[in-house]
Amino acid sequence: EGEGRKHDTALDDAERRHAEELVKVQKMADKKIQDGLASLEQIHKGAKKDLEIVLAKWEGGSRKGLLTSTFRNWQQLVKAGRKKAKSSAAVQMQMHKFLEGTKRGVKHTCW
């Protein structure tokens, strides 16, 4: 009976290690899939931008199309910068409110 328990314990331990290894392998596979999807998404974004430039050139002539696509990309860059700055300001305000109290912390955003 004692030997039977040892075998059961060893079997349970092996099953547990096997299950842990399966989880680890599954996580690695999921990470590879996510990395691959992210890579494909980046490629797709680049291809889409290239296509937009070509279409803009075709629609308005080479010079005007290039100028139009440049301004469009500049506008997107400025919009992203404003969004990031707004987010940063909100975080800073919350930190001031947390560290100095609500009334005094909010004053930092006014002056």
Summarised one tens digit per residue, pLDDT across range 57-83 is: 777 777 777 788 788 889 999 999 999
Q: In the chain, which stretches have pLDDT less than 70?
A: 1-2, 111
Look at the pTM and tell me if it is higher than 0.85.
no
The string of DSSP letters for 11-59 reads HHHHHHHHHHHHHHHHHHHHHHHHHHHHHHHHHHHHHHHHHHHHHHHHH
Question: End-to-end distance of the chain based on CA atoms, in angstroms?
Answer: 80
pLDDT at res. 1: 62
